[in-house]
Amino acid sequence: MGGNALKKYGVFTKRISTSEFIEIGNSLIKTINDKLSLHSEYTKFYHTKNEHGDLDLLVKVPQNQKINFYDFIKNVFNPNAIHVNGGVFSFDYNNFQIDIIPTPEAVWDVAVVYFSYDPLGNIMGKVYHKFNLSYGHNGLYYKYRNFNGVIVRDILISRDVRKIFEFGGFDYDRYLMEFETILDIFNFCVSSKYFNSNIFQYDNLSHIDKKRNKKRKTYNQFLSFINENEKKFKQYEFNEDKSVYINTINEYFPESNLIVELEMENRKNDINKRVSEKFNGNIIMKWLPNIKGKELGVAISDFKKYLGDDYINFILNSDEYIIRDLFLKIYNRYNEKK
């Protein structure tokens, strides 16, 4: 997205006017409807936007229906290049970049909203992040981290667009009125009762997020807007301990069963932690000082494969010497075959 996806293939596309954008968008929608019998929409933009670097076209894909979009694009549009990244198919059409985004029917409503009015979805996502939530084109999720701090599961909270907006302090009815200018989008973003200008600053973003947003013109425009007007805004103070928001989330979205899901994950996490304390890479390297890297990973995988469904019970119910002896036996057996 952004109009630069095809440069690596030596294909340079142009920026076009809004009238050309709408004409191309409607033509693509008709072609997809005629050829695939699928509904599609291009993302919404503020009314006074006068030029575009690309066109994001969402295509609704019914459950259990598989479509080879690469071949479809190649055969129907015959572009000079097709770039696939994260499920998005970028190609040139009339010297303009098109991004086709196949979208499962189950997430259609939230995806259409999330991708519209750049950079709204990205900015809103930063607010939800302070609750340990992730807002994206698939919905609103709670990020569960294991004892090592690694995200091991995204727990679905909601795909109800109105509820998602209102939980974050955003006026969904105002959103439905659409936006005339990009400043209208910015003012909508700062209207949330949870707005805090600090959470958008580059110093407070992850390395990956920082790298991505530095390339986004609209995000940089938003940063300039909030920095120039910072004294006008109320700054909501978030608790550093994100777990304090769990009950709030669960009460607002009871259909998510968040408390129940977290209790289940915590039980599994407790077991995995106990297993990890008795059997891990550092322990193995004490038994075999010369093993490391890929070889270590393969050895652990072979051991788990040998034990199968009995792996967890074996580790929990065996002392260190029994675990070591069996591991070394399996390790030597596999290495003899190599």
Provide the 3-class DSSP secondary structure of residue 220.
helix
Query: Which pLDDT belongs to residue 19?
Result: 97
Nearest-angstrom CA–CA distance, 29 and 26: 5
Query: Which pLDDT belongs to residue 299?
Result: 94
Q: How confident is the model at residue 234 (pLDDT cuts 50, 70, 90)?
A: confident
Query: Which pLDDT belongs to residue 338?
Result: 57
Q: What percent of the chain has pLDDT over 70?
A: 99
Q: How confident is the model at residue 231 (pLDDT cuts 50, 70, 90)?
A: confident
* Interval 293-299 mean pLDDT: 93
pTM of the model: 0.91
Q: How confident is the model at residue 164 (pLDDT cuts 50, 70, 90)?
A: very high
Nearest-angstrom CA–CA distance, 338 and 324: 21
Beta bridge partners of 90: 83, 99
Alpha helix (H) ranges present in the chain? Answer: 18-36, 69-77, 108-115, 120-129, 161-167, 172-176, 182-190, 207-214, 217-228, 246-252, 258-278, 281-287, 293-307, 311-317, 320-336
Decide: 242 and 130 in contact? Cβ < 8 Å. yes
DSSP state of 135: E
- CA 103 to each of CA 27, 88, 109: distance values in angstroms, whole numbers, following the listed order: 19, 10, 10
CA of residue 93 relative to chain centroid, distance: 27
Q: Is the pLDDT of residue 1 over 60?
A: no
